Structure 1
Amino acid sequence: MSDSVIQKSELKKACKNCGAELTYKPGTTQITCDYCGHQEELNLSLDTLKELPLREYLREMGAQANSVEISLLHCKNCGANQHVEENYKSLHCVYCGTPLIREDAVTEQWILPGGVLPFQLTQQEALVRFKKWVKGLWWAPNDLQKASLDPQFTKGLYLPYWTFDAQLYGRYTGSRGDYYYETETYRDSKGRRQTRRVRKTRWSPVSGNIQGFIDDTLINASKQHTGKVPRGVSRWDLKKLQPFESGFLSGFVTEKYTIPLNQGHLEAQDEMRNIATVWARRDIGGDEQRVNQLNIQLEEETFKHILLPVYISAYRYKNKEYSFFVNGENGSISGKRPYSFWKIFFAVLAGLLVFAALYLFSN
């Protein structure tokens, strides 16, 4: 393993003034010391994002290429594998809050990330988004704004994803439907003869070829928590990806992928087939399309392991815990929330009274 690769895999950086750990400052290209205030610029690579050849990695001999070791804590409750920086004095799983024991850390191999989308929001900005979100909730209890939120358990987490690129070639057979109209006669409820225009579809067989480049098919690489992070916050601008620099991870939790590359590739193939179907329908044209058979071939396939940012936390309301998520790049938020029984009850009651009044008035 080369010295440059070893240096890239070092996830902790110390302050040269006081020795405390440096952490990444969201929205910047700096790492800073929370103890003495010292700041350093990250040595960002001028290279473009590195795409890795897929077929070599799917073969057994290529599985460990471009791989390094990472220290992980395994949550015995929910199964999440998390890399946790030294600056966290109290360790808890970011997903379920279960205490983690630093002595239980294990060392595993992982494919070095090819890109990272750095946090653009600080923890405090994420909490401000939460408070604004609470104020805008419909049907929420009036005193929800007093919910207990402990910033200590609001953690910034880098989620693992695979991205896949490929040159796609396909051949399809199907049918093209074109609308046309005919006038037909009918009798109405009173027996009178009437005419109307009726839309019909003329189908004709078609076949053809499609091709194109599919860029950055995004596949979640975390098995335990698929579906837990809401779709509403699972949208990132991948154009903001930076070549991997370990300094971006300082001060945050990093989750290791649990969906292996070969399984992620199978999911990507399904996504690419869906894209190819859309291309085929567009190529068929007309008003309606049927794709009866579609054969695709993928060439020049490459992939990246990337890390995407999200804040995860929970708040307490009347002794019950509700989780919420904030996208660490764009600030979109989603989460579980309580509902006010009385607000909903009186709203339904008011609706029934209005309906009854309108009914009485109309009669």
Structure 2
Amino acid sequence: MASQEYECPACGGVMEFDAPSQKLKCLYCDTTISIEEYKKMVSKGKAEKANEGDAETQSDKLSDEEAENYGFGKDKNVYICKSCGGEIIADKTQGATQCPFCGNNVTFKEVFTNGRRPDYVIPFQLTKEQAKQKYKEYIKGKRLLPKTFSAENHIDEIKGVYIPYWLFDSKMHVALNCEGTKVRTWRDRDYSYTETSFYDVYREGDVPFDKVPVDGSSKMPDDLTESIEPYDARGLKVYDDAYFAGYIANQYDVDEEKSRPRARQRMTNSAVNEIRNSAQGYSTINIRNQNVQVTSEKIKYALYPVWLLSTTWNGQNFLFAMNGQTGKFVGDLPVDKGAAAKYFALSSVLFAALFAILEIIFRI
């Protein structure tokens, strides 16, 4: 079977993963059921159908040839909704969505079996309503924000998306040759003195890393995904596509080999800073040369929750993202150029006044 739909066992309505209860919840009768219980129930139903000779044998996914005959490109998958018979069109990397006709939540199992299967998932902990509230808090009190933005902008879309991440466990061995300085100052009745001493400093050590994330989707800007970090790895669950009910989930389109340079860069910067900071007691430490080697590495594949908000104001689109586990919120906002000019002018006046006062004090 190419897809999995989540129907309420009580009323047949649409079920989705509910962040507050961490269970599947019916949108109509409020029935809740754990993912484990739901899987057992579905497995039992399939077994009963098989015993009755009514097992499903045909896939609900159109073949590439059939999809092309309907006028869809090769970068799309086309599925038939089992609830209403409507056509669901999704990108090749999209593994979960909703039927645009009946709203049924659907996961496309084959997307996550083509290529590497995810090892983990962090379920959504925060709701769409909480994402809206975070957005309101985010734009509140911004001094350089145009006054009309808060009143006139409108949210075009809020969607919960599981973003693919590669998680790197590594150990790095770092050796640094540095120049250290110690500065001593003193003064007598007539003069001030400064003495700078120079030292050769050598530091070496191992730095371990655990689950360093790198975004595996080319559709998501790295600066945006890295800005909403960190995620709490203690929230990782063994992968199960039932967590995707009610959300969008994407398979990676940037593999672990292409993601490795970014992971190495992030870990190298942190490892070098860690070893450099172990040199205590110096006024300055400048690195002359460094040698960084990866002594071990393991890579896992996980899906992390993100709320994406799209807003429109004054003919412009603005994208915001919220960590679906921790609530960390980021995004770009428009700047009122007039307010910015006034703020800059006021700051310049205040700094000029401060320097004038300091100059008078030192002359005295």
Task: For residue 16 of structure 1, give the secondary structure of its aligned residue in structure 2.
Answer: coil
CA contact (8 A) 2:177 2:287 kept: yes
- Is 1:33 aligned with 2:26? yes
Whichever residue aligns with residue 226 of structure 1, its letter is P
- Size of the aligned set, in residue pairs, is 303
Whichever residue aligns with residue 135 of structure 2, its letter is F
2:46 is aligned to none
- Is 1:201 aligned with 2:202? no
CA contact (8 A) 2:311 2:318 kept: yes
Distance 1:19 1:85, change over 3 A: farther
1:270 is aligned to 265
Distance in 1, matches of 2:181 and 2:343, equals 48
1:311 is aligned to 307
Amino-acid identity (%): 19
2:222 corresponds to which of 219, 227, 236: 227
Task: For residue 119 of structure 1, give the secondary structure of its aligned residue in structure 2.
Answer: coil
1:13 corresponds to which of 6, 9, 14: 6
Distance 1:317 1:207, change over 3 A: closer
CA contact (8 A) 2:95 2:111 kept: no
1:245 is aligned to 240
- Is 1:214 aligned with 2:189? no
CA contact (8 A) 1:309 1:329 kept: yes
Distance in 1, matches of 2:242 and 2:4, equals 7
- Is 1:142 aligned with 2:147? yes
2:336 is aligned to 340
1:164 is displaced (CA, Å) by 1.2
Distance 1:11 1:197, change over 3 A: farther
CA contact (8 A) 2:185 2:195 kept: yes
- Is 1:160 aligned with 2:172? no
- Is 1:174 aligned with 2:173? no
Distance 1:138 1:211, change over 3 A: same
1:64 is aligned to none
Distance in 2, matches of 1:31 and 1:196, equals 72
Distance in 1, matches of 2:341 and 2:140, equals 20
1:135 is displaced (CA, Å) by 2.1
Whichever residue aligns with residue 149 of structure 2, its letter is L
Distance in 1, matches of 2:159 and 2:176, equals 51
2:48 is aligned to none
Distance in 2, matches of 1:124 and 1:308, equals 19
1:246 is displaced (CA, Å) by 1.7
For 1:85-96, what aligned pairs fall within 5 Å after superposition? 85-89=97-101
CA-to-aligned-CA distance 1:25-69 (integer Å, 9 cap, x gap): 11332111112222111229xxxxxxxxxxxxxxxxxxxxxxxxx
CA contact (8 A) 2:93 2:111 kept: no
Distance 1:332 1:147, change over 3 A: farther
CA-to-aligned-CA distance 1:62-102 (integer Å, 9 cap, x gap): xxxxxxxx99958xxxx9943342344499xxxxxxxxxx9
CA-to-aligned-CA distance 1:294-326 (integer Å, 9 cap, x gap): 252423x32211111111121222333222222
1:51 is aligned to none
Task: For residue 125 of structure 1, give the secondary structure of its aligned residue in structure 2.
Answer: helix
1:258 is aligned to 253
For 1:286-301, what aligned pairs fall within 5 Å after superposition? 287=282, 288=285, 290=287, 292-299=289-296, 301=297
Q: Which 5+ residue runs of structure 1 have no aligned equivalent?
A: 1-5, 45-69, 92-101, 186-191
1:349 is displaced (CA, Å) by 6.1
1:128 is aligned to 133
1:345 is displaced (CA, Å) by 4.7
1:207 is displaced (CA, Å) by 6.5
Whichever residue aligns with residue 246 of structure 1, its letter is D
Task: For residue 163 of structure 1, give the secondary structure of its aligned residue in structure 2.
Answer: strand
Whichever residue aligns with residue 269 of structure 1, its letter is R
CA contact (8 A) 1:12 1:85 kept: no
CA-atom RMSD in angstroms: 4.1
CA contact (8 A) 2:117 2:301 kept: yes
Whichever residue aligns with residue 165 of structure 1, its letter is D
2:15 corresponds to which of 8, 12, 22: 22
Task: For residue 128 of structure 1, give the secondary structure of its aligned residue in structure 2.
Answer: helix
Q: Which 5+ residue runs of structure 2 have no aligned equivalent?
A: 38-60, 63-74, 78-90, 360-364
Distance 1:285 1:73, change over 3 A: farther
Distance in 1, matches of 2:351 and 2:102, equals 56
Distance 1:155 1:281, change over 3 A: same
Distance in 2, matches of 1:276 and 1:349, equals 42
Distance 1:346 1:89, change over 3 A: farther
